[in-house]
Amino acid sequence: MNGKERIHRILRKKKTDKIPWVPFAGVHAGKLIGASAREVLQDEEILLEAVLEANKLYKPDGQPVIFDLQVEAEILGCELKWAENSPPTVVNHPLADSDQIPENIPARHEGRLPMIIRVMKTLKEEIGDQTALYGLICGPFTLALHLRGTNLFMDMINNPEYTRELLQYTLLVSKRISRYYIESGMDDIAAVDPMVSQISPAHFKEFLNEPYSDLFKYLREQGVLSSFFVCGDASRNIEEMCLTEPDSISVDENVDLATAKEITDRYQIVIGGNIPLTTVMLFGSQQDNMKWVLDLMDSLENTDRLIIAPGCDMPYDVPVDNTLAVEQAVHQTEQVREILANYEKVEEDIDIELPDYEKLEKALIEVFTLDSETCAACTYMMAAAAEAKKHFADRIELVEYKYTSRENIARVKKMGVKNLPSIYINGELAYASLVPNRSELLKRIEKCL
């Protein structure tokens, strides 16, 4: 049984010989050939070479062609800020000051779509018989936020009809991009919507159940498989996601996979995840990565309907050996158990000094993120905090701690931060995996001044 067969069988509720493995090597694939994130996301030849190299090294059962949630937003008028070792971020929102509904639906000749489509077709010919190819689209809710900005959270309360109309528009965009990718040979369309973790189940039911149910119905009618990919602590929304009937759901390290799998199993939906991106894949050893995979498998009542994958797009600098170790643990599980017979985890001792919160001269806003330049949920939470800083000026201090350095990982542990992203005000948790609306955040800070 090859990788493609494993992915197709497990998503169609059939038995597989091994647990499938899907490395989300987006910009990291560029690292494998000495190319920057900017190059791998903009240059056709480099993208093709990078994906093929990742396929050769990591022996994936399924594999994304490109991992960039800004492709659609760029076409629709969002300005992007580019980086050398991470995907771009949206820095302006065309609908921030307008409650209009756009009419433009991206055509296949716009933006970077021609490059992506050509690479997809070539990959289908070269590796499509052995590997299930994933076409990743920006989910309707995150795309609406790219267009509207954090105003969308207030719209959900004060202008629900406009919110529904905007989501119907972004759904049309999602369907159109999906169609292009399906016609280019993709086996699985994954709707990547990190901002789903930032809303309540009630808001999910009110605003997202209909568009997502519609999207996954459309994909079934087109004869392709579907995935619902969410980042952040989406624990409260797992059941709501299941009710939209995707073939699989992917989660990151903020979600306890064993608990979430109990829910997805009830709906006979495959769950994928959720190797920690920084503490394990980026900064861990080969043995740490192997052990994490084995521990995940052992924590589950059964490993049916499971795909092993990173929690999200892999960091650019993840060591190759660590990813190879994960593949070994998935595909050669018993041999790896023997390798780890004498495993002992080495803990780093980094001394972190926390602020004296009782003696602060100004209100201190601390935002703990995975990385506001790569994680959409973190981007919008940091944007909310930046708006507060703009309002209060020098009356408050604002700092971001990105979960991309060993020191900040140690700080997160010492602070007892459970979910990323989170906002702390004067050392006290204010918002965990939930982007606050502007007026609520300002009122909360004002009470602390």
Write the pLDDT tens digit of every residue in 125-160: 999 999 999 999 999 999 999 999 989 999 999 999
**Torsions phi, psi for 441 (to 5 deg):** -65, -45
In whole angstroms, what is the distance from residue 318 CA to residue 283 CA? Answer: 8
Residue 272 · residue 248 · CB < 8 Å: yes
Q: CA triplet 16, 19, 25: central angle to 5 degrees?
A: 125
3-state secondary structure of 6: helix
CA nearest 30: which of 83, 81, 69, 76?
A: 83
Residue 93 to residue 147: CA distance in whole angstroms: 5
Q: What is the pLDDT of residue 40?
A: 98
CA distance 410 to 323: 23
pLDDT, tens digit, 9 for 90 and up, residues 267-306: 999 999 999 999 999 999 999 999 999 999 999 999 999 9
Please report the domains of the chain, with CATH numbers, ordered by start residue.
3-339 (3.20.20.210), 357-448 (3.40.30.10)
pTM of the model: 0.90
CB within 8 Å of 27: residues ≥ 6 apart: 37, 40, 41, 67, 85, 86, 87, 313, 314, 316
CA dihedral 190, 282, 349, 344 (to 10 degrees): 90
CA angle 296, 299, 304 (to 5 degrees): 80
- Residues composing the chain: 449
Q: Which pLDDT does position 264 carry in this prediction?
A: 98
Distance CA 257, CA 442 (A): 35
End-to-end CA distance of the chain: 63
Side-chain half-sphere CA neighbours of 36 within 13 A: 8
User: Radius of gyration of the chain from Cα atoms?
Assistant: 21
Q: What is the pLDDT of residue 330?
A: 97
Tell me the C-alpha distance between 371 and 293, whole Å.
24
Assess contact for 90 and 78: CB atoms under 8 A: yes
Interval 299-340: pLDDT, tens: 999 999 999 999 999 999 999 999 999 999 999 999 999 999
Q: What does the alpha-carbon distance between residue 54 and residue 329 come to, in Å, rounded to a whole number? A: 17
In eight-state DSSP terms, residue 433 is S
Written as tens digits, the pLDDT of the chain (449 aa) is: 999 999 999 999 999 999 999 999 999 999 999 999 999 999 999 999 999 999 999 999 999 999 999 999 999 999 999 999 999 999 999 999 999 999 999 999 999 999 999 999 999 999 999 999 999 999 999 999 999 998 999 999 999 999 999 999 999 999 999 999 999 999 999 999 999 999 999 999 999 999 999 999 999 999 999 999 999 899 999 999 999 999 999 999 999 999 999 999 999 999 999 999 999 999 999 999 999 999 999 999 999 999 999 999 999 999 999 999 999 999 999 999 999 999 888 877 788 999 999 999 999 999 999 888 878 888 889 999 999 999 999 999 999 999 989 999 999 999 999 888 999 999 999 999 888 888 889 999 998 88
Q: Are 93 and 166 in contact (CB under 8 A)?
A: no
